Structure 1
Amino acid sequence: MTRFIHDQFAKDYLEELLAPFGEVKAPRRVAAEVREIDVWFDPTTNTEVLGLLGQLAAKPAVFEPFRNAATPTDICNCLLKLLTLRGESQREANRKKERLSEETLPRLWILSPTASESILNGFRAIIDLENWGEGIYFLGDYLRTAIVVIHQLPKTEATLWLRLLGRGKVQEDAIDELRTNSPSHPLQSNALKLLTNFQANLQTTEDLDQEERSLIMKLSPLYIQWEQEALKKGEEQGIQQGIQQEKRLMIESMLEVKFGVVDEELSPIVEALIQLSTKEVTQLIMQSDREELLGRFKGEN
C-alpha cells in the first residue's frame, strides 16, 4: 500500500511541475505487453525555472521515478519501454516515408534515490561532471538513457525539485528548504499542495515504517503553511472558495486510498468532512472503518 502511495506521489509531482511547460502524458501506454511509461513530457516553453529538473526536461523526456533504489531488472524494464517507444516512432516515420531523427526521440531519465557501484558499472553508466555535475550517470549515446542518483546530487537550489523525490534525510532536508523558500516562488504552492496530499494519504495507512512516520512529522507543518498562503492569495484575488476545493480534493484522495473508491455512499459525507479541521478529518478517516464513518454522518447529508 505505501509503495503505491509513494509511486503515485512521484508521478503526480512530476506531472504537476512539468504541466505548465509542455505536454505531459502520465502514464503513457506503449505497445507490446501494455506497458506504461510513468511520465512522458514534451516541452513547449522554457523549463529553466525547474532548475536541474528543467534541464532534464528541456527536450522530450521520459521519467521513471523509483522510491527504492532501482534494481537491474527495474532498469532493464525501463529500457524496454523506451525501446518500444522508439519502435513506435520508427514505424510512424516509415508510414510517413520520413527519416527518424535521433534528436526527436525522448531521453529516459531513471530517478533513483541511490545506486550501487556494481549497478552503475553493470550498465556502463558514466558520470559527466563537466556538463551535468554529480549524481547523473549516462548510458551509451544510442540508448539515450541516464540514471539520476538523487542522493548524490549537490545540495543546491537547482536540485531541490529532484531531491524532494529522494527518501530519508535527503527528502526531509529538501522539505525544510521548501518551507523556507520565498512564497512568491512559482512552484512552491503546487509543491506544498502535493506534499500535503501525500502526507494525508500516508496517514490513512496502518503499516508505516519508521522512515514514513518521520516523514509524516516533517510534512505536518506544511498543510498549515500552504493553507495560510492559499487563504492570503484567495483574499487578494477574491477567490477564497479555491481553498475549499483543494480541501475537497485532499479528503477525496484520503477516502480513495483508505476505501479504494469514493462511491455513492461515501460521496455525500465529503461536504460534512470539509467543515472539520484537517486534524479531525485525518483522525476520523484513519481510525474509522467504513460503517463507523458513514454512521458518524448519518442524517447530516
Structure 2
Amino acid sequence: MHNRSDQFTKSLLRDGLSLVSAAETEVEVLAATQKIDVYSVPDPARESERAGMGLLGELSAEPSLFEPFHGTPGLRQVRQCLRKQLTWHHELERRARSAARSVAPDEDTDAPPQPAVAFPALVVIGPGRPETVLDAYRCEPAQAGVYHAVPGLVMRVVVLSELPRTRATLLLRLLGSGRRLREALADLAALPDDAWEKSVATPLLVHFRHGIQEPTTDEEDDVSAEIRAWFKEYEQKLRAEERKEGRDEGRAQGRAEEAARAVLTALRVRGIAVPDAARERILAEQDPEALERWLERAIVATSLAEVLDELS
C-alpha cells in the first residue's frame, strides 16, 4: 500500500487501535519479503475503553494483523495475508523460545518446553463481498458485514459495503470510498466535538485531504458541500493551533509518542509486564535519545529492570 489513500487507511487503523492497543504499521515479517499493514496487541488495562470502540474494538480483542484493501480481495491476495500470519506466528514463537533460554541458560535439556504464544488473528478488510474467499475458507456470517473463516484459520473478513450505518462501524466505514465514504464523513461531522472518533480520524482526513475531492452525483452535492465546509473549518482551526504551539514542537511530540509506543510494544512482545507507573513514565518521555536507548534494550530484554532500572 503506497499511495496517499493507502497511507490514510493504515494511519486511521493504527491511530484508532492505539487508543486501546500497541499498534504499529509496516511491521516487518522476518524470513519473508512482506510487511503487515497494521499489527495490534490489546492492552489489558484499557479493556473498558476498547469495549466502547464498537466493531473496531471487537476486532482488536486479541493480537491481530489488519490487512485493508481498496478493491475486493481475491484468493491470491488473501493467501499472501495468510502467509504473513503464519510467518509472523513462527517469528513470535522464535522470540519466545529465545527469551525462555535467556531466562534459564543452564538448562540441560535439549528441547525446552515450547512457550505458549497466542496465534494472531487475521482481519481482512475490503469494500465488496469476496465470494471466492468466503467460499474457499467456508466463512460464516458473525454479524452484518463480518465473516469468520473455518475454525483454525483465525481469520475475519470485513465487507465495508455490508456494514450497517451505525456509530459502532463508523471508523471502519471511513476506509470505504464513494457514497459510503461520504455517508461516513457526514456521520463523523455530526458527532460531538469531543467524540473519540473525531480525535482519531479528523487530523488524518485533513492531512491526507481524504474524501473531499471525490466526484459526486447531483443528489450528493449538498451533503458534499457540508462536508467540505466542515473540513475547511477544522483545517483552519488546526492551522491556528499549529501556529500557536509551533510546528516543530508538535512534530517532536508526535515522534516521541511513536517511539514510546514502540518501546511498549517491544516489551509486550517479549512478554514483560509493564506497571502503570512505568507505562506513564515511558509515554511521558520526550528525549529521543532516551527512547531510542530504551527501545534497543526492550528488544532483547527479559525483565523491565533491564530497560528501566528506576521503575523495576
**Would the TM-score normalized by the shorter structure come out above 0.5?**
yes
Contact in 2 for aligned 1:175/1:218 (Cα 8 Å) = no
Contact in 1 for aligned 2:8/2:210 (Cα 8 Å) = no
Contact in 2 for aligned 1:24/1:41 (Cα 8 Å) = yes
> Is 1:162 aligned to residue 203 of structure 2?
no
Distance 2:36 2:9 in 1: 13
Aligned to 2:25: 26
Contact in 2 for aligned 1:199/1:220 (Cα 8 Å) = no
Aligned to 1:107: 121
Distance 1:106 1:116, change over 3 A: closer
Q: Report the TM-score, using the length of structure 1 for normalisation.
A: 0.67
Q: What whole-Å deviation, never above 9, does each CA across 1:26-78 have from its counterpart, x for those lacking one?
A: 11101223210000011212212321101111221111111111121111111
Distance 1:70 1:143 in 2: 17
Contact in 2 for aligned 1:69/1:113 (Cα 8 Å) = yes
Distance 2:52 2:239 in 1: 25
Distance 1:101 1:152 in 2: 36
Distance 2:183 2:210 in 1: 20
Q: What CA RMSD, in Å, does the superposition of the two structures yield over aligned residues?
A: 3.3
Q: What whole-Å deviation, never above 9, does each CA across 1:153-207 have from its counterpart, x for those lacking one?
A: 111110111111112211110110001011121231331111112217987xxxx
The amino acid that maps onto 2:229 is P
Distance 2:115 2:59 in 1: 22
Equivalent position to 1:65, from 64, 68, 75? 68
Distance 1:99 1:118, change over 3 A: same
Q: Once structures 1 and 2 are overlaid, which stretch shifts more, 43-52 or 159-168?
A: 43-52
Distance 1:49 1:94, change over 3 A: same
Distance 2:71 2:174 in 1: 14
> Is 1:172 aligned to residue 182 of structure 2?
yes
CA positional deviation for 1:219: 5.2
Number of residue pairs matched? 231
CA positional deviation for 1:216: 8.4
> Is 1:55 aligned to residue 58 of structure 2?
yes
Q: What whole-Å deviation, never above 9, does each CA across 1:209-228 have from its counterpart, x for those lacking one?
A: 847xx998675323323246
Aligned to 2:81: 78
The amino acid that maps onto 2:132 is S
Distance 1:230 1:8, change over 3 A: closer
Q: Secondary structure at the match of 2:35?
A: strand
CA positional deviation for 1:99: 3.6
Distance 1:201 1:191, change over 3 A: closer
**Aligned positions of 1:270-281 closer than 5 A:** none
Contact in 1 for aligned 2:175/2:181 (Cα 8 Å) = yes
The amino acid that maps onto 1:121 is D
What are the ranges of 5 or more consecutive residues in structure 1 without an aligned counterpart? Answer: 204-208, 250-301
Q: Report the TM-score, using the length of structure 2 for normalisation.
A: 0.65
Q: Secondary structure at the match of 2:156?
A: strand
Q: Once structures 1 and 2 are overlaid, which stretch shifts more, 145-154 or 181-190?
A: 181-190
Contact in 2 for aligned 1:56/1:109 (Cα 8 Å) = yes
* Identity across the alignment (%): 28
Distance 1:84 1:40 in 2: 13
CA positional deviation for 1:90: 2.6
> Is 1:39 aligned to residue 41 of structure 2?
no
**Aligned positions of 1:1-301 closer than 5 A:** 4-44=3-43, 45-46=46-47, 47-95=50-98, 96=100, 97-101=112-116, 104-128=118-142, 133-199=143-209, 210=215, 220-227=228-235, 241-242=244-245, 245=247
Contact in 1 for aligned 2:138/2:150 (Cα 8 Å) = yes
Distance 1:200 1:85, change over 3 A: closer
Q: Secondary structure at the match of 1:24?
A: strand
Distance 1:240 1:190, change over 3 A: farther
Contact in 1 for aligned 2:212/2:228 (Cα 8 Å) = no
Distance 1:217 1:10, change over 3 A: farther
Distance 1:14 1:99 in 2: 32
Q: What whole-Å deviation, never above 9, does each CA across 1:82-129 have from its counterpart, x for those lacking one?
A: 010111123334442444546x2221101111123233112221112x
Distance 1:176 1:124, change over 3 A: same
